Amino acid sequence: MTTLPHPELFVRWFRQAAPYVHAFRGRTFVIGFGGEMIAERTRFANFVHDLNLLAALGIRLVLVHGARTQIEAELRAKGLRSRYAKGMRITDAASLTAVKHAAGVLRVEIEALLSQGLPNSPMAGGAIRVGSGNYLIARPIGVVDGVDFQFTGAVRKVEAAAIARRLETGEIVLVPHIGYSPTGEVFNLSWEDVAESVAIALKADKLLLLSDRLPENRKGEPVHEMTAREAEALLKLNPEPRDLARILRCALRSLAGGVGRAHIVSRRSDGGTLLELFTHSGVGTMITADPVEQLRPARIEDAGGIIALIEPLEADGTLVKRNRERLEQEIGNFEVMVHDGVVVGCAALYPYPESKSAEFACLAVAPDYRGSDYGERLLGACEARAKARKIRRLFALTTRAQHWFVDQGFREAGVDALPGERKALYNWKRGSKIFLKRI
């Protein structure tokens, strides 16, 4: 029997992933990758295992693949040359044959990998249905600056409803870099464009693009988070390497088209997709249309995220255990701080209108995010709510964060300072300190 070298690290990591698991269930992710990724057998097999895991967590997955490497290999074997203009392949009749062969072979290979389910393998019991088909209507690129691109095409329409129906049944949808025109012609498309178009058409929550390289700052270090505006500035400053610039542009257009987040992930990192999605700092580059963090009133779908956040604090006695059903009923009392769709902070306001006071309660910020003023901003949002309801006094009960409240302008008071109804519920055994603030 093999034992884990550091089981405590595994447990810590697994717990840390819980909020992401809650946040991602039922979401639609489009993942695009080139043919060169499929050519690296072992790494690709690991990548497919990771996709299988994502699907098992209830994420709706659409995979978009390319075949540049495979098309080039076939043309080379036939003694033919690949021709490119403006960074795009000129698909002549011979290339189109290679495109069709590659698409057929790759489809079978990807489906085979996703169909594995042997015991004692990462795919045990996990065989997943794959839906592939004619989801793309294409048009020819035509003649650009005197160059006839022949069978190289662009996406004209994505049959989003047809893809969504397959996703609804729990299938992973595989979309190749091939489109058909209404006249029955076949066109070779770039996988980046297809991934972008599919993500926009599906209003995907995330578009993940696997790339050779990540965007870098002036010091040559990878950038892990960027807004669309920052990415545009980076592109202007540094439009090379061309493949990365192309991927960045697709990411930017997808955000402009309503996709929630775009991520660029290195195709060379084993498990890179999982690390990018399930860790706070990630290993790739996340590009967002708006600021990544958001402070807003909680909605019912945040209940799972709030519970994941407060559970460890309830377990160690920092917070009083809350009844889950009541938490859902009282969700309207909560404000949440959300980072990339994950609840990383929460606080609640419970008004006692008769005494023109309110309890500021259930304040929690996830450990990785402490010290960034999230606590203060959550208090600010609750204060604003309280003022709107003509409340004059906030009170809080705490056993561990006395000084935090003092720093925020609260002063310690006795139990008698609590409104009558709240005083009746005061837990003398817990012995919380009471803090008051006039607002």
Ligand X SMILES: CC(C)(COP(=O)(O)OP(=O)(O)OC[C@H]1O[C@@H](n2cnc3c(N)ncnc32)[C@H](O)[C@@H]1OP(=O)(O)O)[C@@H](O)C(=O)NCCC(=O)NCCS
Least distance from C-beta 432 to ligand X, angstroms? 8
Compare residues 57 and 417 and give the one whose CB is closer to ligand X: 417
Least distance from C-beta 378 to ligand X, angstroms? 7
Least distance from C-beta 138 to ligand X, angstroms? 50
Task: Using only the alpha carbons of the chain, give its radius of gyration.
Answer: 26
- List the interface residues with ligand X, window 267-326 (CB under 6 A): 313, 318-319
Indicate the helix (H) or strand (E) that contains 377: helix 374-388
**61 neighbors 31 (Cβ within 8 angstroms):** yes
- Residue 196 CA to residue 258 CA, distance in Å, equals 11
Least distance from C-beta 399 to ligand X, angstroms? 8
Which residue type is seen at 163? Answer: I
* Stretch of 78-86, 227-235, 242-250, 373-381 lying at the interface with ligand X (CB under 6 A): 373-381
Compare residues 74 and 359 and give the one whose CB is closer to ligand X: 359
Q: Write down the residue that tokens 């505006």 correspond to.
A: 229
Contacts of 297 (CB under 8 A, 6+ apart): 332, 334, 335, 336
The verdict on 131 binding ligand X (CB under 6 A) reads no
Compare residues 29 and 374 and give the one whose CB is closer to ligand X: 374
Strands (E), 177-329: 178-180, 186-188, 206-211, 225-227, 261-266, 285-288, 293-297
* Stretch of 260-268, 291-299, 362-370, 418-426 lying at the interface with ligand X (CB under 6 A): 362-370
The verdict on 403 binding ligand X (CB under 6 A) reads yes
* Stretch of 22-30, 175-183, 225-233, 393-401 lying at the interface with ligand X (CB under 6 A): 393-401
Which residue has its beta carbon closest to ligand X?
375
Compare residues 27 and 377 and give the one whose CB is closer to ligand X: 377
Indicate the helix (H) or strand (E) that contains 95: helix 93-115
Using CB under 6 A, pick the residue from 85, 401, 417, 439 that binds ligand X. 401
* Stretch of 10-18, 42-50, 137-145, 394-402 lying at the interface with ligand X (CB under 6 A): 394-402
Q: Write down the residue that tokens 């606080």 correspond to.
A: 347
* Stretch of 34-42, 171-179, 181-189, 360-368 lying at the interface with ligand X (CB under 6 A): 360-368
* Binding track, positions 79-98, relative to ligand X; x by CB under 6 A: --------------------
Indicate the helix (H) or strand (E) that contains 325: helix 324-329
**439 neighbors 386 (Cβ within 8 angstroms):** yes
Using CB under 6 A, pick the residue from 103, 363, 386, 391 that binds ligand X. 363
**33 neighbors 2 (Cβ within 8 angstroms):** no
The verdict on 373 binding ligand X (CB under 6 A) reads yes
User: In degrees rounded to 5, what are phi and psi of residue 116?
Assistant: -60, 145
- Residue 271 CA to residue 42 CA, distance in Å, equals 12
Which residue type is seen at 169? Answer: T
* Residues at the contact surface with ligand X, assessed by CB under 6 A: 313, 318-319, 363-365, 370-376, 396, 398, 400-401, 403-404, 407
